[in-house]
Structure 1
């Protein structure tokens, strides 16, 4: 949607601001303007954040003209969108799900994680489009984390993993795990146990993230461990609430004292930059699981002419393309959940087996891993 299609002059001008920091034109992407980052240091937004910013502009467009939003469609200056009265109306509509893009989804309350994304985007847009307007943003509660896997269950899982990797087809009451599906799932679980990547980090892995003989795996932490996404670590070090750390990271300094801001900035400096790649040793059982998957992967990729660098690929034709296409993060999460659900069913009743969580995050948070001090041979 171009800025000329937005109803409010203020939203059209806000869209123009977004186009400077997150242009749709690929040829302009590398020259995009910087935005205030941690401690006010200018940074460039990521592709993911660019999509989120455009989403929030669309939400502003659907909010103008509603009785809950002061000024409505006659607002002209983008700064007016971030004034307290206007922003209060926008936020209440957003949380209630009234500003969703799809009409059939409207009225479904935004989950807490989505609220946090919208809040972060509003803070960023306010800093860029309305630098002189003080932002009064709500404080969101901390999410309730899903239960993790017990250490005993993790050990049982690891002990059984090598046996499962070499076992025949698994099936029970019509539910089956093909050899290919099982090989991919167990390789994913192996890397989760030894390196604890997030789902996006797992999906981003490439073949060259594996060391020689699969003795180690590299996890690209740069996006997830950038200062703006390390609020909990920073808050612990500075002895403040995570929301206070986020306020400083997002430039909303009017919400905190100068002394608190300096403590947060000192914590950011002490943490220092995260390495682009952290390397983790793979245990022998994990190497077996990864090698079996690499054999399966080679056959899948060969069917489309090879040349794919992604570690995880599709097992069959789908909307994404033929079998052998690199899995995207959403596809990886869906495939992981489907595979674990089937695995839990066919393994139910087996000695020592306890049902696995169906999300990458629950298993990731169950593990405690330490990166290698030196990168291995690649």
Structure 2
């Protein structure tokens, strides 16, 4: 079955021949298999490509130089299709040094068409094509060689079925005039800066960083940057160096000693012996940072009179617009965005908060009306015939 369903490419000569055929495709469906449980960087184990009714499974363990295929992936004349492609793109960038642009992410596209914000590939295939994909190899060891036939068939399905999914979603986006929405939603995914870990800002990703402030945040910034460097150097997960909870505990301390560090839960003696002195230096350097350069949390808006009621009204409007547009309400506006707007809406003075729902296609679909609702230019009332909320200009008296 393997010869008819896919070509397995595990030698340089076969790769060279395959790339001649791959380069003729205008659209390529792409997926990777990798492991990341015990490393900082993903361990690249397999590359699957589908185009022009052909499937190629390329073995990056047996073939050390994939330059021919990376040149194709960087070709701006060829569209690359991924599903939930963040980590796949990261692998391509790391291995080739180039972004695989232009690209089309079917998970992002599906979210814009009402399939849910993070719909899985198998779920999407079943809903669109009624095909049930095999799940037996989900937790395969993709680094082990030789690969079994079932593994290869499973890997091939991930790109073979990606093509009809892409075609269906693209047609629907075009019919609804939402292709420009997809470009907006993919901005971060297509931005090379997304794949460059900025050590100066990585501390914001530490769970619990929003509980710190001032000098504590400055200490956390230094500690998180040090952890990132060490994790990269040793190619181990951040948590294997030191966990987020312990990093937060160290950062919030006003006084820190090796003895105190050794008594912290989750910090073992070996870690203190190896890195304790360095941790003290990094912690102190962060705390000694001038106050004007301390990190600052976004200003929080305080709940004002009627904030909860305004939030309910805003949420109702978003759900109404989501139903009209056949799109998930959480994609239109997050709860935190609506909370910001509800707080600002007490007096509606000054510029509205910088929230995603007031920009781009979201502003057109719902953001403009959210502001109008807060300013009293429109209102919501129940249609007596359907019992559903409807939007009415405030100057118009609803019919009863």
Q: What interval of TM-score do these two structures reach, taking the shorter chain for normalisation?
A: under 0.3
TM-score by length of 2: 0.26
- As a proportion of its length, which structure holds more strand? 2
Say which structure, 1 or 2, has more relative contact order (CA 8 Å, 6+ apart): 1
Q: Which has the larger radius of gyration?
A: 2
